[in-house]
């Protein structure tokens, strides 16, 4: 139960990071670019909302397909392991013994434990899935949970750079406030992302913040250049 909770939490955090990373960066770059060529907030807001909607859908679908593929891959490997246990049991027992020996268990004890495990086909297959293939059984609802988590994380991140444009009719005011709150959000997000993933805090925070800033500056500069 503890292991399943840990895996589920890891998947959730990963999906939040995926959705929030793109949600903060892409709409920020888009609104910054449009601010460089448009004098009215209306088109920026409409374009921003359209991009956020499209991003939520595309990112959510991507998460759904990835989660579905993970489940299908597990089921495929599970079926193969059952077939191998049924058709080549001696070979599979040797593989179990080898795993225990690699763990530091002596050969005689490895044989005894292997014999015990092989008495139950389901436990035997589960052992092979975990320790030979490194696969844990995924949540059957993994695909839909991943899709929703990524989509809503993208939505939350995307509204941060767009929000100032909704609060003012002045294009430049909206742009300046959008830059300020989005950079702050990127720094906060980068800090927590680094903390969760175990990266150096300063390096990880700067990496996330600079990625968003560079994308926005590039979009704004390019828009000014071609306008």
Residue 101 lies in a domain: yes
pLDDT for the residue numbered 5: 46
8 has pLDDT over 60: no
String of DSSP letters for 41-94: HHHHHHHHHHHHHHHHHHHHHHHHHHHHHHHHHHHHHHHHHHHHHHH-HHHHHH
pLDDT value at residue 1: 44
Range of the domain at 158: 10-221
In this structure, what are the phi and psi dihedrals at residue 199, rounded to the nearest 5 degrees? -85, 160
Number of domains into which the chain is organized:
1
Model confidence band, residue 9 (pLDDT cutoffs 50, 70, 90): low
Q: What mean pLDDT, rounded, does the chain reach?
A: 85
Judge whether 64 lies within some domain: yes
Q: Can you tell me the mean pLDDT for 7-20?
A: 80
The pTM assigned to this predicted structure is: 0.78
Judge whether 1 lies within some domain: no
């Amino acid at each position: 139960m503890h292991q399943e909770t840990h895996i589920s939490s890891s998947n959730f955090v990963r999906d939040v990071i995926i959705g929030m990373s793109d949600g903060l960066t892409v709409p920020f770059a888009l609104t910054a670019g449009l601010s460089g060529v448009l004098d009215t907030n209306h088109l920026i807001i409409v374009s921003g909302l359209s991009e956020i909607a499209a991003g939520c859908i595309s990112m959510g679908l991507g998460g759904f397909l990835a989660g579905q593929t993970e489940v299908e891959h597990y089921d495929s490997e599970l079926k193969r392991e059952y077939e191998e246990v049924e058709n080549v049991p001696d070979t599979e027992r040797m593989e179990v013994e080898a795993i225990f020996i690699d763990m530091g268990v002596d050969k005689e004890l490895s044989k005894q434990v292997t014999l015990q495990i092989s008495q139950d086909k389901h436990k035997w297959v589960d052992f092979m899935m975990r320790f030979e293939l490194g696969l844990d059984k995924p949540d059957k609802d993994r695909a839909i949970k991943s899709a929703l988590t990524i989509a809503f994380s993208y939505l939350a991140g995307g509204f941060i750079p767009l929000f100032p444009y909704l609060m003012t009719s002045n294009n430049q005011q909206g742009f300046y406030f959008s830059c300020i709150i989005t950079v702050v959000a990127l720094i906060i997000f980068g800090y927590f992302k680094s903390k969760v993933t175990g990266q150096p805090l300063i390096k990880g925070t700067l990496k996330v913040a600079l990625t968003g800033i560079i994308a926005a500056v590039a979009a704004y500069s390019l828009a000014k250049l071609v306008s």
